[in-house]
Amino acid sequence: MASVDDVKKLAALARIGVGEAELEKFAKEFDGILAYVGQLDALSVDTKERVLPAVRNVMREDGEPHAPGAYTEALAKQFPEREGNYLSVKQIISHD
Amino acid sequence: MTKALNELTIAEAARALRAKECTVRELWDACVSESKKRNGELNAYLELFEADDVAIEAAQKRIDEGDTSMLCGIPLAMKDNILIEGHIASASSKMLANYVATYDATITKKLKEAGALFLGRTNMDEFALGGSTENSAYGVTKNPHDLTRVAGGTSGGSATAVAAHMAIAGLGTDTGGSLRNPASYCGLIGLKPTYGAVSRSGLIAAVSSFDQAGPLTKTVADAKALFDVIRGKDLMDSTSIDTVAIPEKVQRIGVLASLMKGIAGTPVEIQFNKTIDYLRSRGMEIVEVTIPSVSPALAAYYIINFAEVSTNMARFDGIRYGMAVRGKTLLEDYVQSRTEGFGQETKRRILLGTYVLSAGYIDAYYRKANSVRELLRAEYAKAFEAVDVIATPTMPTPAFTIGAKADPVSLYLEDVFTVMANLTGTPAISIPMESIVENGKELPAGIQFSAPHGGEERLFNIGALVRGEKM
């Protein structure tokens, strides 16, 4: 079952901030939800041999590219911060 | 004609336009004026679009020149997770409040080519996660049959828009019942097509292996008219297929006694049995079918839902578009954007998805759920060797009061009948039965039919029989 620490760890992995009050609430709710979906535990279905799903992605060949720049402005308009046609982000590797 | 223009069905409006009883502009204006009048109390539309004069005039010209496209000049309501170029598509999330679609979804393109018009974008549960449109960042949508009740979800806005005659018909998406559930609660027809029958290109993804777009309409004939336009294999969606048509006739109807136990003696069961008796009187053979894996199916559905949601939501990071909160580091940019952008239910499912996919639990949860899914698929295929369609109620209850299902598990349990079609990829339709009277209010409730893959025509035929429609 889920403890407050578990929820904290999951939130960090999922890049989501969860406040103290919310942590307690989620932990309590997760107990109920995991107890419900956990009923599969009692089921003996063979999971060792993985069944190939009936629906799956099929890749197509690349081809017929659109004209360069045709969508650049429309996409760049959505950027929170831009420099010309570049998306501007924080520096990740520092020099010092 | 006694009906107001906005109350017409697609078929009636198409006829009226050609008989010159009304113009495309008059039909559009009738829907817009009803929407403006009622949207304040119902909250069906998040945004009503300005009239697209070019599209309206083009549709009128096509009709005047004898074009036979049924959808030409028909004003539709579009769910807020279907992209329309140049319009905001927010999936009812703060995360995408400012996101303007840079291209048309494939179904949008097909509807435009058919001459259809878009009235606005409709409210939904955020990212299509829920079952009542209570999880929207922009407030709950009310049920037009009783304003204290939910419209259902996640396509609740489109359902209310159609049921309250604020649109001639509507489009939505269905991940675990999101078209059929609001259809049942609002008294409409809702079709979840065969997985792959309709392109998902340009839909904001919830659970990619379950999602399908489909119609919400006043009649079965209208559902077929919309489905016939939006269906078809699409190069932009590698999971789309040209479905192989199967025999259309319905003679044997399967009923799932084991799933009905949970609603024994309820008003929904009484109406369901009445409808089944009627179908028997019309020459249908009713057969009890057994599908053992329906009992763990709902748990399996939610595990796969959490897993795929957490994966799909990973793309929202505050960097390229949408909500962008800035902290001291890049990591803080991600965390703060996601924390502020996502609502409670979305966060809940992302965290649960992260849990069921984590190394220690993936065998116990996700892989097991997928095995149940394959088992269920095989059992349904077997059952369909003996019957043409399988019938259940669509929802265990009529629309519930807003706020009544605050506990997540109680809301998840409402999906027990609808998720089967998403797990197996089969098509399913909700058809209104006789209403249920509760506290003096007439509340709609639906009967659901599912068919083997590619069996949409069968569903239209049985639906038309229930409704007394001629197809």
pLDDT band of residue B12 (cuts 50, 70, 90) is: very high
Beta strands B212-217 and B169-174, pairing class: antiparallel
pLDDT of residue A95: 72
pLDDT band of residue B316 (cuts 50, 70, 90) is: very high
**Would you call B162 helix, strand, or coil by DSSP?**
helix
Asked if A41 lies within 8 A of B364 by C-beta distance, the reply is yes
Residue range B277-309, pLDDT digits in tens? 999 999 999 999 999 999 999 999 999 999 999
User: Which of B418-427 are b and which e, b meaning 16 or more Cβ less than 10 Å from the residue's Cβ?
Assistant: bbbbbbbbbb
A51 → chain B, closest CA residue: B371
pLDDT band of residue B363 (cuts 50, 70, 90) is: confident
Please give the distance of CA B456 from its chain centroid, rounded to a whole number: 15
Asked if B375 lies within 8 A of A33 by C-beta distance, the reply is no
**Would you call A30 helix, strand, or coil by DSSP?**
helix
Amino acid, single-letter form, for residue B234: D
Q: Chain-wide mean pLDDT for chain B?
A: 97
pLDDT of residue A13: 96
Tell which wins on pLDDT, B391 or A51.
B391
For residue B210, give the CATH number of its domain: 3.90.1300.10
- CA of A52 vs chain B CAs: smallest distance (Å): 9
With a cut of 70, say whether residue B184 has pLDDT above it.
Answer: yes
Contact list in A for residue B238 (CB cut-off 8 A) is 57-60
Average pLDDT over residues B198-214: 98
State the complex-level ipTM: 0.90
pLDDT band of residue B447 (cuts 50, 70, 90) is: very high
Domain limits for position B468? 1-471
With a cut of 80, say whether residue B31 has pLDDT above it.
Answer: yes
% pLDDT > 70, chain A: 84
pLDDT of residue A2: 80
The answer to whether residue A34 neighbours chain B at the CB level (below 8 Å) is yes
Cα separation, B181 vs B131, in Å, equals 7
Backbone angles phi, psi at B174, to 5 degrees: -135, 115
Asked if A80 lies within 8 A of B367 by C-beta distance, the reply is no
Asked if B351 lies within 8 A of A30 by C-beta distance, the reply is yes
Residue range B125-162, pLDDT digits in tens? 999 999 999 999 999 999 999 999 999 999 999 999 99
With a cut of 70, say whether residue B1 has pLDDT above it.
Answer: no
Distances from the Cα of B407 to the Cα of A30, B318, B403, B411, angstroms: 11, 30, 10, 7
% pLDDT > 70, chain B: 100
Provide the token pair at B433: 């039965």
The answer to whether residue A93 neighbours chain B at the CB level (below 8 Å) is no
% pLDDT > 90, chain A: 55
Cα separation, B315 vs B245, in Å, equals 36
pLDDT of residue A92: 81
pLDDT of residue B53: 98
Asked if A47 lies within 8 A of B368 by C-beta distance, the reply is yes
Average pLDDT over residues B44-61: 98
Q: Chain-wide mean pLDDT for chain A?
A: 86
With a cut of 80, say whether residue A54 has pLDDT above it.
Answer: no
pLDDT band of residue B448 (cuts 50, 70, 90) is: very high
Task: State how many domains chain B has.
Answer: 1
Contact list in B for residue A59 (CB cut-off 8 A) is 238
User: Within a 10 A sphere around the Cβ of B465, how many other Cβ atoms?
Assistant: 18
Cα separation, A79 vs B399, in Å, equals 41
With a cut of 70, say whether residue B190 has pLDDT above it.
Answer: yes
Domain ranges of chain A: 4-42
Beta strands B189-192 and B212-217, pairing class: antiparallel
The architecture of the domain spanning A4-42 is Orthogonal Bundle (1.10)
pLDDT of residue A46: 64
pLDDT of residue B197: 97
Residue range B454-468, pLDDT digits in tens? 999 999 999 999 999
With a cut of 70, say whether residue B443 has pLDDT above it.
Answer: yes
- CA of A25 vs chain B CAs: smallest distance (Å): 10
With a cut of 70, say whether residue A47 has pLDDT above it.
Answer: no
Asked if B363 lies within 8 A of A40 by C-beta distance, the reply is no
Average pLDDT over residues A31-36: 93
Tell which wins on pLDDT, B122 or A60.
B122
Asked if A40 lies within 8 A of B335 by C-beta distance, the reply is no
Run of H or E residues at B336: helix B330-341
% pLDDT > 90, chain B: 96
Nearest to A54 among B299, B348, B377 (CB): B377
pLDDT band of residue A50 (cuts 50, 70, 90) is: low
The percent of chain A in helix, strand and coil, each rounded to the nearest 5, is: 40, 5, 55
Residue range B384-416, pLDDT digits in tens? 999 999 999 999 999 999 999 989 999 999 999
pLDDT of residue A49: 60
